[in-house]
Structure 1
Amino acid sequence: MYILGINAYHGGASACLIKDGELVGAVEEERFERVKYWAGFPVNAIKYCLTEAGISVHDVDHIGISRDPNANILRKAKHLIRRGPTSQLLLDRLRNRRVVGNISTVLCEHLNVNRRDLKASFHNVEHHRAHMASTFFVSPFENAAVLSIDGMGDFTSTMWGTGNGNKFDVSSSIHFPHSIGILYTAVSQWLGFNHYGDEGKVMGLAPYGEPHYVDKLRRILRVQADKTFEVDQTYLRYQAEGGTMSWTGGKPKIGRLYSNKFTKLFGDPRQPNETLTSYHNDIAASLQAITEEAEFALLEKLYTETGCDNLCMAGGVALNSVFNGKVLPNTDFNEIYIQPASSDAGTALGVCYYIYHQLLGFPRTYNMTHAYTGPQFSNGDVESALNRHSLEYSTLDLPVLVKDTAKLIENGNVIGWFQGRMEWGPRALGNRSIIADPRHSSTQDLLNSRIKNRESFRPFAPAVLEEHVGDYFDQSYPDPFMLKVYGVLPDKRDIIPAVTHVDGSGRLQTVTSDSSLPYYELINAFYERTGVPVLLNTSFNENEPIVCTPEEAIACFMRTKMDVLVIGNYMVKK
C-alpha cells in the first residue's frame, strides 16, 4: 500500500511517500525550486517520491494534504463576521479554501493525469493533527505526551494530547489568534529580521543579551492559571487585518505583524541593515525567555494531564533548539523525540502516518532514526558533473577518502562534503554539509564572512561522536537531528571554540555509524588525528536552500572560498 502525503500552500511545501508503513522518500520543494521555504504545490517533490519508489501516481492508494478547510469552521465564520473582513480578504480565503479542499483536482492538473484514472482516496488532515502524527508515529515510544506548537494552521496554533500504540487522542487546543509562533515572528520583524524563517537568527542573537524586558513582553504573552497562554492582540496586526501572509508559490511573504502599540512600548523598529545594539540583543533575550516561560507551563500541564514520561514535539516552535535542550533537565519528562522536519514541511510525513495508523488502523513498524530521505546520486552522476566543469579530481575508496579529508581539515581546510541521500528538514546532518576544524576560534568568522555570507553572530554546530557526547557537553542524551542546544563543558570550550556559542552552548548533532557511516568515519578519523571527536558542521549552501544535486554542490564550491570538495568518492582541490 502506497500513501502520499503533501504539504502545499504553506511554508516549506513538501511531499512524503510510504509503502506498507515504511518511508520511501521525503523532501522539501525548496530543494528543487532553489527558493528557501518555497510555498505552493510541491510537484517536484511529489515526482521525486514517486520515482524513488519506481511507481506512478496511478499506483498510489491514498493521498492526503495537511490542511482541512472544514476544521474549526464555526470559529472561522464567527471571526470573519465579528471583524468585518474586506472583500479582498474574503476572496483570498475562498480561493485558499477551494485549492486545499480540492487537492485531487490540483494534483491531477500538475501531474497531467485524469482523476478517473486514479484509484487513490483523497484526505484532508487537520494541520496540527498532521504535526502530531509526524512526531509520535515515527518515534520510538509506545505511549507519549504529544505537543504541536507553531504559528497557525487551520485556525489553531497549539494542540496537545496523548499517543498510545497506533492512535493518538487530542486533549485540547489553543486557537486563533493566540500564537507563540506569531509573536516570535512579530518581534523578529521588529528586530529587523523580516524574512520567513528568520526566527532562528533571533534565537542565535538572544545569548548576546540579557532578558531585561520580560515584564514588558508579559503584557503581550500571558500564561494563564490553567497553564495555557493568551496573546494581547492590540500589540499585533495579525488579527486586525485577518493575516498578511501569502503561500501561493515562491518564497512565503509575511506582512508586518507588530502594531503601532508595540512600537510605542518598545520604540522604533530596527532596520535590516542597522547596527545591532545591546537593546536589540536584550529584546531577543527577553523574547526567548518569555517563549520558554510559556512553553514550560504547557509542558507542566501536559505532564500532569497525561502522566507520560515520554514527550513528542512538533511544529515550527519545536525548532527552538535552545528550549528543546532545556526540556529534560527542567521537566518531569524522561525521554523526548522531535523528528528532523518538525516545521510545516514535516506535516507531509504526518499525513502519511495519520492515514496509515489513525485512519486505517495498521500497527506501527517504522521509527525515524535518521534524516537521509532525499535524492542521492551515483558516482557516475558525480563524475559526469565534474567532467562537465572540467575539474581535476582524485578517486578514492572510503577508508582513504575519510583519512585524507580528516588530514585536510586538521590543516585548516574548509570542506564541502556531499554524500548519499539528502537530508529531510532544515539541518544539514553530514550528507550535504560544510565541514571545518572546531579547534580555532577564527573558523567561525571565516565561514560567516567568506563562505556563508551571513551575520557574524550566528553560531556553527558541533557534530560529535555519540559515544563522546558526555565528554564535551553537560548532557549526554542523543540528538541525531541537531534540534537541541547543550552546554559545552567549561574545560572543553577552549578546545572547540568555533562551535561554542557566546553563552558557552552548542547546538549539537550526535553521530553514529548506523545512521551515516561515511560521516561517522570522517569524525572518527579526525578524532584519531587530533584527540577531538568533534567537527564543525554547517549546511552546504550560500544564502540558498541546501544543495541537492552534484551540479549545485560544484557551483557553490566554485563561487565560495571553500578549499576542497569531497563528493561521493571524488576529491576536488582548488
Structure 2
Amino acid sequence: MNILGINAYHGDSSACLVVDGKLVAAVEEERFRRIKHWAGFPSESIRYCLEEAGISLGDVAVVAINSDPKANLMKKIGFTLKKRPEFGLIMDRLKNQKERRSIEQELAHAFPEQSFNGEVRHIEHHLAHLSSAFHVSPYDEAAVVSVDGFGDFASASWGIGRGSEISIDDKVYFPHSMGTFYQALTQFIGFPHYGDEYKVMGLAPYGEPAYMDQMRQIVLLQDDGSFKLNLDYFRHHREKVDYEWENGIPSVGRLFSDKMAELLGPVREKGEELTQRHKDIAHSVQKMYEETFFHLLNKLHARHGSDNLCIAGGCGMNSVANGKVRRNTPFKQVYIQSAAGDAGGAIGAAYSVCCDQPGFARSFVMDHAYFGPSFDNTVIADLLDSKRKKIMAEGCSVELIEDESLLCTKTAIAISEGKVIGWFQGRMEWGPRALGNRSILGDPRRDDMKDILNLKIKRRESFRPFAPSILRDAVADWFEEDDEVPFMMKVFQIREEKRGEIPAVTHADGSGRLQTVYEHTNPRYHQLISAFGEQTGVPILLNTSFNENEPVVCRPEEALDCFLRTKMDLLVLGDWFIERK
C-alpha cells in the first residue's frame, strides 16, 4: 500500500512516501524552492517521492495531510462565543480556508498528466505529531508528547503509545501555547523571523536567570501538568496578527502586547546592540520553557509509568531541553525523530493511516535521516565538465578518488590542517539538521574555527555554537551522558577535562549539540571521522549545515555554487575531490 504524507499550507512544507509500512522517501519543499521554511503545497517534494519510488499518483492509495479543519470544532466555537475576538481575526481565518484549493485540486494542478484516484485523509495536527515520533520509534510502548505553536486549535497533546495505537490523555487549546510564548519572546529580544527561536537557545548560556519571577507571571503551571499563558502579555487571542503561509517565506506578526515591555523593559529594536539584559531574558525564557516542559513530563510519567518517551512538535526542536530530560524526569529513554517540527507531520499523517489498517503491525524504525535525493558520480562528472572554466578560474584542482579509504584519509588530513570542507554525499537528510551528507566540516580542536567559518561562509551571530559529530562508541569518553543522538536533537555537557581539546564545538556553558555517528547508517561519514580520529586522537568533527544563508544544499549544482562563491577550501562531491590551490 502506497501512502503519501504531506505537511501543507504551513511553514516547512514537506512530503513523504510510505510503502507497505516502510518510509522510502521524505523531503522538505524548501530544498527545491530554495526559500527557507517554504510554506504552501509541497508539489516538488511529492514529485521527488514518487520518482524515488518509481510510481505515479495513480499508484497512491491515500494522501494523508497533518491537518483536520473539523478537529476540536466545539472548542473553536466555544472560544469564539466566549471571548469574542476581533471580527477581522475571525474573517481572516475563514478567508484562508475558503481560498485554499482542495488536495485533489492541488494534485491535478501540479500533475496534470497524472490522475489521483485514491482517498484523502485529514489527520488531526497533534495526532500526526505524536505518530511521527512514536510510530517510527524503537519502542513498543512509550509516553508521547507534542508541544508547538498551534495546529488545529491546540498547542500541546500527550498520552501513551502502545503497539500501533496512540491514546491521547489531554491537550492544551488555543490561545495557550508554549510555542507562542517562546516565539513572542524571541521577537521581543529582536529576532523577528520565522524559525529564529534557535537563536534564543544559543544566546541563553550567556545570560543568567534574572527574569524568572517575570516569566512565572507570563506562564502559569497547572496542577494537572498543563499550563496557561497570562494573556495580558499577548495579542494573538484577541487581535488580528498577520500570518503568511502561502507559497513563500512564512511570517508571523508581533505576538506580544505592550504590557510585555512594562514587565521586561524596552523591546530590542532592529540593529540595537545585544546587551546583558537581552541575554538574561533569553536565559530566563529557556529556563521557563524547561520548567514547564519537565512539569508536564513528570506528571505524564506518574500517570503511565513507562520509562520511554517520544517527543514531537516544533518545541521538540529544543535540543537543550531534550538533553536534560533524563536528569529532570524519571524517563530513561528519549526518542525524537529528525524532523520533529511541522515537516515531520507528513510522516505522522502517513503512519496514522498505516496504523489504522486492519492487522497492521509496526516494523519500521527510523534510525537514520537519509531519505532525500541522491546523485551518482556520472551526474557530478557532467556538472564538473559543464563548469570546468569557472572551476579553473578559481584555481581549483579536480580529482576523482574512487578508493573510499584514500578519499576519507585525504579529507581528514585537510581538516586537520585547518581547512574548511564541503562534504556532499549520498541521500540528503530529512529534517533541518545536516547529519554528514550535506555538511560543512572543520577541525573541532581549533579555537579559531568558529571565526574562520563565520568569516569564510556562515556570517552568522558569534554567540551561535557549532555542533560535534562523534563516533557512537566514543560518546562516554567525551560527554557526561552516554546516549543515542543520531539526529542532533539533544545537547549534553562535554566532560570538563575534554572541553579544552575541542573548543570549536564547546558552547559557553560547556555543552555540545552532538550527533552520534554509526557505521551501519552512514559508513562513509563514520570512516571519515575514524580517519580524523586516527590522525589526531579526536574522534569528532565540527559539523554545520552546507549552506550560506539559504536552505541546505540539495543538488550538486547548489553545493558547487556555494563552494565557488565562498572561501571554502575543499569540496568533496561524491568521489570527486575539488581543492582550491
TM-score, scaled relative to structure 1: 0.98
> Given the alignment, which residue of 118, 121, 124 partners 1:126?
124
2:482 corresponds to:
476
- 1:370–1:481 contact (8 Å) kept in structure 2: yes
Displacement after TM superposition at 1:363 (Å): 0.8
Matches of 2:270 and 2:128, distance apart in 1: 35
2:427 corresponds to:
421
SS class of match (1:494): helix
1:140 corresponds to:
138
Matches of 1:331 and 1:38, distance apart in 2: 36
User: After alignment, is 104-113 or 330-339 more displaced?
Assistant: 104-113
Q: In the TM superposition, what whole-angstrom CA distance separates every residue of 1:369-397 from its partner, at most 9, and x where no partner exists? A: 00000000010111111122113410102
Q: In the TM superposition, what whole-angstrom CA distance separates every residue of 1:272-307 from its partner, at most 9, and x where no partner exists? A: 322111000000000000000000000011101111
How do 1:213-362 residues align onto structure 2 when only pairs under 5 Å count? 213-358=211-356, 360-362=358-360
| Shift in CA distance, 109/88, structure 1 to aligned 2, threshold 3 Å | farther
SS class of match (2:267): coil
SS class of match (1:173): strand
Displacement after TM superposition at 1:361 (Å): 4.9
Displacement after TM superposition at 1:362 (Å): 1.1
2:394 corresponds to:
none
> Given the alignment, which residue of 531, 540, 548 partners 1:542?
548
Q: In the TM superposition, what whole-angstrom CA distance separates every residue of 1:50-108 from its partner, at most 9, and x where no partner exists? A: 00010110110011111100011122123234444555434432243346783222222
Matches of 2:431 and 2:459, distance apart in 1: 22
- 2:86–2:240 contact (8 Å) kept in structure 1: no
- 2:371–2:428 contact (8 Å) kept in structure 1: yes
- 1:207–1:502 contact (8 Å) kept in structure 2: yes
| Shift in CA distance, 113/72, structure 1 to aligned 2, threshold 3 Å | farther
User: After alignment, is 481-490 or 91-100 more displaced?
Assistant: 91-100
1:43 corresponds to:
43
SS class of match (2:577): strand
User: After alignment, is 324-333 or 408-417 more displaced?
Assistant: 324-333
**What RMSD, in angstroms, separates the aligned Cα atoms of the two structures?**
1.3
2:575 corresponds to:
569
Matches of 2:500 and 2:99, distance apart in 1: 54
Residue identity over aligned pairs, in percent, reads 51
How do 1:388-399 residues align onto structure 2 when only pairs under 5 Å count? 388-390=386-388, 391=391, 392-396=397-401, 397-399=403-405
Displacement after TM superposition at 1:119 (Å): 2.6
SS class of match (2:501): coil
- 1:2–1:20 contact (8 Å) kept in structure 2: yes
Q: In the TM superposition, what whole-angstrom CA distance separates every residue of 1:306-353 from its partner, at most 9, and x where no partner exists? A: 111100000010110110000112211111100000000000011110
Displacement after TM superposition at 1:24 (Å): 1.2
Matches of 1:233 and 1:30, distance apart in 2: 34
Matches of 1:385 and 1:272, distance apart in 2: 41
Displacement after TM superposition at 1:358 (Å): 3.3
Matches of 1:68 and 1:243, distance apart in 2: 22
SS class of match (1:393): strand
Displacement after TM superposition at 1:515 (Å): 1.1
Matches of 1:466 and 1:518, distance apart in 2: 14
Unaligned 5+ segments in structure 2 are 392-396
Displacement after TM superposition at 1:359 (Å): 5.0
Matches of 2:269 and 2:477, distance apart in 1: 42
- 1:210–1:281 contact (8 Å) kept in structure 2: yes
Amino acid at match of 2:310: C
SS class of match (1:312): strand
2:531 corresponds to:
525
Amino acid at match of 1:172: D
- 2:147–2:179 contact (8 Å) kept in structure 1: yes
> Given the alignment, which residue of 153, 159, 162 partners 2:160?
162
Matches of 1:449 and 1:190, distance apart in 2: 28
Q: In the TM superposition, what whole-angstrom CA distance separates every residue of 1:137-162 from its partner, at most 9, and x where no partner exists? A: 00000000000000110000000011
| Shift in CA distance, 412/173, structure 1 to aligned 2, threshold 3 Å | same
Unaligned 5+ segments in structure 1 are none
User: After alignment, is 336-345 or 235-244 more displaced?
Assistant: 235-244
- 2:408–2:531 contact (8 Å) kept in structure 1: yes
Matches of 1:519 and 1:276, distance apart in 2: 37
Matches of 1:305 and 1:151, distance apart in 2: 25
Matched, 1:58 2:23: no
User: After alignment, is 519-528 or 265-274 more displaced?
Assistant: 265-274
Number of matched pairs? 572
How do 1:433-452 residues align onto structure 2 when only pairs under 5 Å count? 433-452=439-458
TM-score, scaled relative to structure 2: 0.96
SS class of match (2:194): coil
SS class of match (1:219): helix
